[in-house]
Amino acid sequence: MGENHSAGDSGTDGRVNRRRFLGASGAALTALATGVGTATASFGSGVTTEDYTIESWDGTQLEATLYTPDASEPQPAVLMTHGWGAFRESPLTAPKAKFHAKNGYNVLTYDSRGFGSSQGTVGLDGPNEIKDARRLVDWLANRPEVALDATDDPKVGMDGVSYAGGIQLSAAAADDRIDAVAPRITWNDLQYSLAPNGVIKIGWLSILLGLGGISSNLIGPDTNIDPRLYDWYEQALETNDLPPGILEANESRSFPYFEDYDTPTFLVQGWDDSLFKPIEAVRTYRALQDRGVESRLAFYEGGHAPEEITVPFDQRGHMNGLVNTWFDRHLRGERTDIAQSNTYLKQREEFRAEEQFPPDDTEVVTYDLGTADANGDDRIEQWSWWYDSNVTYTWDVRDRAEWYGTPQIDLSLDVHGPEARIFVNMLRNGDPINGIGEAYRIEGSGVSRISFEFPTLQRFVSPSDTLGLQIEVSSPYYLNSRESDGVTVRPGESSVSLPQRPR
């Protein structure tokens, strides 16, 4: 994706100065990005590793590690890389590789182009990274340890989190030799991920560029990231909008725009994820089901959120076991399978397997804002002596039930000023259910009716509980409007439609 340019200290070329940007990103990111390579090693259960430098399609040197089980005949393979700003020995990659290897799979992990010890320019899982993945499939096809479907066609699946999830979907769309994938906590549509409903998620954009820039050159002053990403970031800050260039780039890297995708796919998503919200996996799953592609879905406690750090080992082990079973089915041809939906129930601290998502006993219950108790004035403004910046509408829960699925929000708003940006969260007993909630941008003044999906959720409730809908006009996680004079909510014309099950 172009040459690797570096901006001068003065920043006079118009780009965000990367030396200053990386310094401002914080030393905490450094600890996440740095690490050391691995030497040849041996693990329990007869697993050995060996490091390789693999020349990619354009001569770029990719650093990789092959985990080999002790087997008397060739075995299927799993191809893995890492999350954005990380490396192949990172704690969300290496343990999964060891797990698959101990279960009899050859596993090739690699530092993605421009990250870790690999050469090249980071291109955000673009065309170069797709060709890298295909080259690595070629490499596996020529290894004596790896079982084949046909000449130059290895039995191979892909696993990995976040950035490593995105490349799975892109590579599988481009290469039919990939037999199954297990993308974890990744995106459906990058446009939605970075600017949901037109509102820029500035907190995550800053973290990603900072972390990626640091780790792409092991905390050096200049990075191997495509400089256009910094240009787009600067334009977004200046205009409060995403530039056209990034819109085109996002489309080419997003599942809704992949044609003829038919690879069996097991989607794993975190309930607490604020970068790739739970609804992203649901949207990919819906599309796969509509296309008739074999697919499964699972939710666990974690994602791009602090909760990921504290996910218990048994929960991680359960998810790894499901992925391994998925590969047994599609790479070994075993008659095993996993449930259609596997959901971690946070209140009960256990998994539940179901044969349908959403379950067939789910019904949609509508809550009208006009019947709710309002805490605050219907008019909210970002800067005002007279009005608050948020209002909350609350209903009493009448029955024992389970909220499970993707809510629909329908609002009627009187927009004061040329535009408005609102931030919505759903509450149980006053506490947010899904992290940073949802955002929406409204163009034009006057009365507007908007309708959008709220990120997928799950909670058990009782008659002593309350359901709340909080609407705000400012958020620390997004770029707020610079032109809005606020909005007035019209409760009598607004509602929440909530998927609900009896219990």
| pLDDT tens by residue, 434-452 | 878 999 999 999 999 999 9
User: Which residue would you say has higher pLDDT here, 98 or 238?
Assistant: 98
* Residue 42 pLDDT class (50, 70, 90 cuts): low
Does the pLDDT value for residue 225 go beyond 80? no
Q: 3-class DSSP state for residue 212?
A: helix
- What's the confidence (pLDDT) of residue 212? 54
Token representation of residue 346: 């946070």
pLDDT at 345: 97
Handedness of CA 185, 190, 196, 201 (dihedral sign): positive
Helix (H, G, I), strand (E, B) or coil at 195: coil
Tell me the average pLDDT across 129-133: 98
* Predicted pLDDT at 19: 33
Residue 148 region by backbone torsions, left for phi larger than 0, else alpha for psi between -120 and 50, else beta: beta
Do 18-29+40-193+225-354 and 363-502 have matching folds? no
Taking residues 36-48, report their average pLDDT: 58
Mean pLDDT over 407-417 rounds to 97
**pLDDT tens for each residue of 173-208:** 999 999 999 999 999 999 999 999 999 998 887 777
Where along the chain do its domains lie? Answer: 18-29+40-193+225-354, 363-502
Q: What whole-number distance in Å separates Cα of residue 185 and Cα of residue 92?
A: 11
Judging by beta carbons within 10 Å of its beta carbon (0-12, 13-18, 19+), is residue 390 exposed, middle or buried?
middle
Q: Could you tell me if residue 246 is left (phi over 0), alpha (psi between -120 and 50 degrees) or otherwise beta?
A: alpha
Joined together, the tokens standing for residue 460 give 């058990």
- At residue 210, does pLDDT exceed 90? no
C-alpha distances in Å from residue 236, one per residue of 125, 198, 232, 477? 21, 12, 6, 15
Q: What's the predicted TM-score (pTM) here? A: 0.89
* DSSP per-residue string spanning 319-349: HHHHHHHHHHHHHS--S----SEEEEETTTT
Give the full edge-to-edge strand order of the sheet including 106-110.
41-43, 47-55, 61-69, 106-110, 77-80, 156-161, 178-184, 265-270, 295-300, 341-345, 350-354
Residue whose token pair is 């919200």: 277
- Parallel, antiparallel, or unpaired for β 390-396 and 431-432? unpaired
CA 426/CA 466 separation, integer angstroms: 11
Segment 51-72, tens digit of pLDDT:
999 999 999 999 999 999 999 9
Instruction: Determine the pLDDT at residue 2.
Output: 36
Domain 363-502 in CATH: superfamily? Galactose-binding domain-like (2.60.120.260)
Q: If 0-12 CB within 10 Å is exposed, 13-18 middle and 19+ buried, where does residue 243 land? A: middle
Q: In this structure, which topology does domain 18-29+40-193+225-354 adopt according to CATH?
A: Rossmann fold (3.40.50)
* 141-182 residue pLDDT tens: 999 999 999 999 999 999 999 999 999 999 999 999 999 999
**Higher pLDDT among residues 173 and 124, named by residue:** 173
pLDDT tops 80 at residue 382: yes
Q: Are 473 and 423 in contact (CB under 8 A)?
A: yes
Measured distance CA(232)–CA(333) in Å, rounded:
46
**CB neighbour list of residue 443: distance below 8 Å, 6 or more residues apart:** 418, 419
DSSP β-ladder status, 419-428 and 431-432:
antiparallel
Alpha carbon distance 412, 137 (integer Å): 52
Which residues have C-beta within 8 Å of that of residue 252, sequence separation ≥ 6? 126, 127
Q: Is the pLDDT of residue 390 over 50?
A: yes
Residue 364 has pLDDT above 80, yes or no: yes
Kindly report the backbone phi and psi dihedral angles of residue 173, in degrees, each rounded to the nearest multiple of 5, phi listed first: -65, -30
